[in-house]
A and B are shown apart, each in its own frame.
Chain A
Amino acid sequence: MTATGPEARTATGSAPVPVTAALALGDDALVLSHRLGEWAGHAPVLEEEVALANIALDLLGQARVLLSLAGDEDELAYLREERAFRNLQLVEQPNGDFAHTIARQLYFSTYQHLLFAELASGDGPFAPLAAKAVKEVAYHRDHAEQWTLRLGDGTETSHERMRRACDALWRFTGEMFQPVEGLDADWARLEQRWLESVTDVLGRAGLPLPEGPSTGAWSAGAGRQGLHTEPFGRMLAEMQHLHRSHPGASW
């Protein structure tokens, strides 16, 4: 068989793929997939073990397609240095407790769902992947919303933990709406719709909308430029260790 990686070029196949955008979207999916994979063997209940692994698998599939548009998927995933990654700082944040993971999922899957729906309706190079992925991400978003409601509107402890998690990650949300070169999206409208959705879910969960800036020089917001937070380096070291120690390893 002629080897074929995931292939996402449009039927016409003529438009050059904007590499910056492919890396931004691909790295978001790859990094969050790896973080969610870290839950394997540690999730609070068996159903969540399965759910988080399945969400991670969906994201990994999306990452493979997107990174293949930009170059060799393995080289990009395993041989780039930290500064060459273009993912949002939000997705690289450590899992924390289950509430932190759910807050990260709520913020990111809402964003990804709205963005992919917009890309899917266009005719750009990402439309085929976005049209496919938007259906998968709908389930990720639903999963995060259901857990936000359950934890926010649950016990005193679950409410307090969920509130703290939403607060802690809030400063990483502003970065999502920085325009990405090569992506044809209405970023202001995306941000407005994201805020409406998150406000609605948190409201129904009995959780306050976090206060304070969603971005800022002192806090966060340069992942797309290759600047990352401290935990990301450790995550990459673990993710890339095998491939770097045994180049070309396979099984």
Chain B
Amino acid sequence: MRAYTPKDNVQKKSYYTDRYWIAPQVAKSKVSDDKVFSEDLEAIKKAKIKVLDSYIQVEQMVVYIKPEDIVKTLQLLRDECAYTQLSELSAIDWISQRGGFEVFYQMLSMSKRKRLRIKCFIKQDESIESVSKLFRSADWSEREMYDMFGVKVNNHPFMKRILMPDDWEGHPLLKTYPLQGDEFASWYEVDKIFGKEARDIIGPEIRDSARVDRYDTERFARLGHEVAKGVEFNPDEEKKPLAYQEDDGVFLIEGFDEDKSQIISDRKR
């Protein structure tokens, strides 16, 4: 039976785990430590926006709010707190841990020389209100967020994929989406260019760049067989033993001869 691998995070691949490892934290400080940020936070609180959490990390304030307040908060920050630019907007996939996405809005105030990050959490099936009426840059960012994560945005003027093709299936930045692409991805170009009926002739697209096909003499050498490039694989081909020797010999190594070497099966021998 094949070993079970969790499918909620297909790209998780830590080959070393230390049970006793406790990851350190990036230092967080209180908002009250910074005068400008505490004024901004007061303004947010005064507008009856519920602040779930707030702290300063690496010189930037992070404020957690509810997703329904997002337009109100960003408008307040832009009009009253001089955060005139929305420099970045995207999501973080927390589906397997918390069942949803964290959407972050990276804001910049040029007059105050401050940056802050508004964050809100939405469940996987929930959608978020568009802020593209406030910041035109959100138009494209929200499209990218939808494209990459499948986060739906309400009242967006043009909710369409932006980086992937329009007829793509799946959202590539989800943790459930494999790095090499899924079944759909491996047939996408074959289906699109040659048609489904050509699948048997062409085969799926090989998207694993590290794959080695030992029977492919066109692109890979067959060590110890010395077959010409591009010839068909012959199961009865003659095997030539590997031999290797530097001209003047190599320190500690006498020279390699496959016939004289033996493969150790038991490492505790």
**A and B found bound together:** no
Interface residues of chain A, those whose CB is within 8 Å of chain B, are none
